Structure 1
């Protein structure tokens, strides 16, 4: 089991990063709530990881802290929830928001995530409410926000590229292409980078 990786952050392409550890590049998929907290490319980063082995692939999922990784591990134990859906849920909600939704049986908040219908949301609440008690009582906090002029690694990118990158990331998280494009168009403002667009699009979807 690979539980933690520390090295140089080589690439950031939401929702995936590449971390160089002693000359070996690890591809790691991250929920956007963790992605927002990354330093600029070229800096050192520590990522808490969960390793998934399938017949056709070996996948690394990364998280900014152990709490979010713990929630991810509980999520993928739930019936009908795989790593991709777990990543989607923790991209649209912070760890605390997800805990709050389960503890307060807020099915409507869970249904807002792509790939989660009402029955799945209700099942998640039933299966996870007791199991998530070990994480303590959730505090209702919003997704991490970064002023645009201080976002790590921000560079001037053509508008079309910013929108396409943001839409591509949303599709990777489970949204349909047309829906992703609409979400991006609804929040995009001049001088926003792709991370800011993704963050605002996911917030607006809740």
Structure 2
């Protein structure tokens, strides 16, 4: 299996890129989160990879971070999720956003990703629960507490983006009412 590849970036055509490794050109599929952080063509790049072998093709997927690679692998383990949908999910949201979505059990956020319907979103949330390592403080809150705070902020008229950003400021171990107050203080400073 090819686990990592280093080479000169020859071509960038989303979601594909062409990497020259000692005269051999590798076509690699990457999520948009990786694509936006690539260096200029002609520069050297190191990608963590995942090789997928099918009957009709050998496909190579590349990632700049270990978290993206691990999230991709976790997504592939879910029944009904292939590499194309996993790539779409990682292109539509960062790994920390995905972990936060799973923690909050937010199906609406997942259904905004092309190719993800209600049933697949529910399956994703169920099977990814506890499997994604989140670096956000929201993961430290219990899922029920964070979800209740989110719903309270949404019912007060805040957008989902504002509410999720405010929840990041809520320390772990707070009660729901204290968490709502803390989130509202964070929103009032904006």
How many angstroms does 1:23 deviate by?
A: 0.4
**Deviation readout 1:27-85 (Å, 9 max, x if unpaired):** 00000011000000000000110000000000000011111000000001011100000
Distance 1:139 1:22, change over 3 A: farther
Q: Which runs of 5+ in 1 are unaligned?
A: 141-206
The RMSD of aligned alpha carbons is 1.2
The equivalent residue for 1:73 is 73
**Residue 100 of structure 1 contacts residue 139 of structure 1 at CA under 8 Å; is this kept in 2?**
no
| Contact 1:97/1:139, CA 8 A, preserved across alignment | no
> Which residue of the partner structure matches residue 141 of structure 2?
none
How many residues in Structure 1 have an aligned counterpart in Structure 2?
138
Q: What is the TM-score of this pair, normalised by structure 2?
A: 0.70
Structure 1: which 4+ aligned runs deviate by more than 2 Å?
136-140
User: Contact (CA 8 Å) 1:102, 1:129: kept in 2 or not?
Assistant: yes
Shift of 1:139: 5.7
Unaligned runs of 5+ in 2: 139-190
Greater RCO (Cα-Cα under 8 Å, separation 6 or more): 1
| TM-score between the two structures when normalised by the length of structure 1 | 0.65
Match of 1:96 in 2: 96
Conserved 8 A contact 1:72-1:87: yes
Equivalent residue number for residue 116 of structure 2 = 116
Q: Which has the larger radius of gyration?
A: 2
